[in-house]
Amino acid sequence: MFSISLESCEVNEFQEVATHFVESINIFLQDLDAHISSPIEVLELKVLEGVRALCRQLLEMIVSKVASEQVSGSVICPECEQECRPWCKRERGITTLCGVIRMCGVIRIERWVYRCALGHNHAPWDLCQKLRGQYTHRVAEVMCRLVARLDFREASEELSSHGIEVSHTTLHQKVREWSQGLRVPEQVDTQRLEENQRWYVSCDGCHTNSREGWKEVKVGCIYKDYPQQGFGSIASARTSSMRYVASRNDATHFGKELFSLATHSGIYQEDIDTQEIVFIGDGAAWIWNLAAEYFPNAVEIVDVMHAASHLYNVAKVAFEETQTQMIEDWVEMTKPYLYAGNITEVVARIRDLATQNSETSETLEREARYFEKHAKRMRYQEFREKGYQIGSGVIESACKHVVAQRCKQASMRWDKPGINAVLEWRCLDKNKAWNRYWYPDTKAA
C-alpha cells in the first residue's frame, strides 16, 4: 500500500545513504501496512518507534560518512605539538536524541584516529563535535534540564523513555562535572529599570539535609517592581524580572555571587544616581553585612512579619504559657507601634515587661536590643507611604520553589558540590538563561 522511490529525490553527494534510507523507509511502511487496521494506540507506538529508528539510522549514516573521511591538512598533537598521521579507523558510540521508549538512541560511527611519533592518539573529528563524553551536546542539555527539575531517579527514568540509558549515579556525576565553570550570574540578561520602577534585592537562608545534619543554603533574588498601592502590587513586572542565585557556600562567597547576579541583571549598570535599590531581609547578621558591603546605598528593610514574630517571642517569655489571652493582648497592643515604625515605643514596652520580672529580663533585653539595632530598617509607616514592599514573601517563596521543591524531599542527603551543582542548573533554568547558555548561537537564545 505505502512505498516511495528515489526517482523523485534530488540527491547527489549522499546517493548511497539515500538509497539505503529509502529501502529502510519501504521496510518500515510494509511493516506498517500489516498493522493498518490496528487501534490508534498500537499505530502510535509503531509510527513513533519506526520514525525514530529511521532518524537514528539516517543520522548514523550521514555522520559516519563525514567522520570516516580523513582530515585535510596537517593534524598537530595537542599533547606534544608534533605532527600526527592517520593511524586507523576506530568505531565509537555516541548517545543522541534519536531514541524512543525501549529503543536506544546510540549511533555507532567510524572515524579516523591519528597518532604522533610519541604514540599519542587523537580523533580530530571528535574534537570538533562539542561532545560531552559519549553524549551529544543536546543530550547533555536534556540531562541537565531534567536534573534541574526532577530528582535523579525520576530524571533517569524520564531519559530512559527517550532511549537514553543513564543510571541515576552517572547522572549525578555528569551534571556535577558539567557544572564546573558554569557561572549562573553571568548568564542572565541585562534589564533596564522602566519609569517609576525600583530594584529589589532580597536574601534568606533555608536548611537542607546532609550526612552531617542540616546545612544552610543561601538564596538571593533580584527583581524590579513598581511602587505598591496599599498592600497590592503589579506582580507581572516582578515575576518577569525575577532572577535567582542559590548555593551552600559561605556568606563571603555567596555575597560575591549575589552581587554578580545583581550587576549582570542591570543594577549599577547605568544611571546609578537615579537607581533606587531596596534590600529586604530578616534579622540574620550575614544578610545585613552583605547588604552593607555590596549595596551600601540601598534602603534596608527588615521583613515586617519577621519583626512581628519577635513580638510574640517577647510575650511568650514575659507571660506564663497558659496566659494565652495576655500574650495575644500584649502583642495586639504593641503591633500598631511596630507598623507605625515607632520602635522607641516598642522598645519601651519590652523594657517595661523586663522590669516586672527579673528572671526573664535578660532575654527581653536581648529582644529590645534587636528592635533598637534594626530600628532604621523598621520605619514601616514611612516605607509604606513610599510604596516599598515591607515583607519578604518573595524570597521565602524562592526558598520553597528554587530549593525546597527539588532538594528537600524525603531521604535526600546532599554534599556541598552536589547540591551546588543542582542549584546552579536550577537557577539557570529559573533565570530564563537556559538557551543563552546551551545554544548561544541561536536567535531564540
Contact residues for Zn ion, defined by CB under 5 A: 77, 79-80, 116, 118, 120
Measured from the CB atom, the residue of 48 and 118 that comes closer to Zn ion is 118
Task: Give whichever of 20 and 120 is closer to Zn ion, judged by the CB atom.
Answer: 120
| Strand ranges inside 77-180, DSSP E | 83-95, 106-116, 121-122
SS3 content of the chain, % helix, strand, coil (to 5): 50, 15, 35
Question: Based on CB atoms, which residue is closest to Zn ion, 77 or 188?
Answer: 77
CA distance 359 to 329: 22
If the CB atoms of residues 84 and 304 are measured against Zn ion, the closer one turns out to be 84
CB of 218 to Zn ion, least distance (A): 46
Nearest approach, Cβ of residue 87 and Zn ion (Å): 12
**Hey, is 80 helix, strand or coil?**
coil
User: At closest approach, how far in Å is the CB of 400 from Zn ion?
Assistant: 53
Can you give 356-402 as a three-state secondary structure string? Answer: HCCCCHHHHHHHHHHHHHCHHHHCHHHHHHCCCCCCCHHHHHHHHHH
Nearer to Zn ion, 77 or 277 (CB): 77
Longest dimension (CA), the chain: 101
Beta strand pairing call for 106-116 and 121-122: antiparallel
Determine contact, residues 436/189, Cβ cutoff 8 Å.
Answer: yes
Give CA separation, 312 vs 65, 159, 340, 352, 366, in Å: 74, 50, 18, 16, 14
- Spatial distance between the Cα atoms of 102 and 162, rounded to a whole number of angstroms: 8
Question: Is 126 or 372 the residue whose CB approaches Zn ion more closely?
Answer: 126
The secondary structure of residue 189, as a DSSP letter, is: P
- Find the shortest distance in angstroms from Cβ 121 to Zn ion: 9
Smaller CB separation from Zn ion, 118 or 305: 118
Exposure of 372 in the CB half-sphere (CA atoms within 13 A): 11
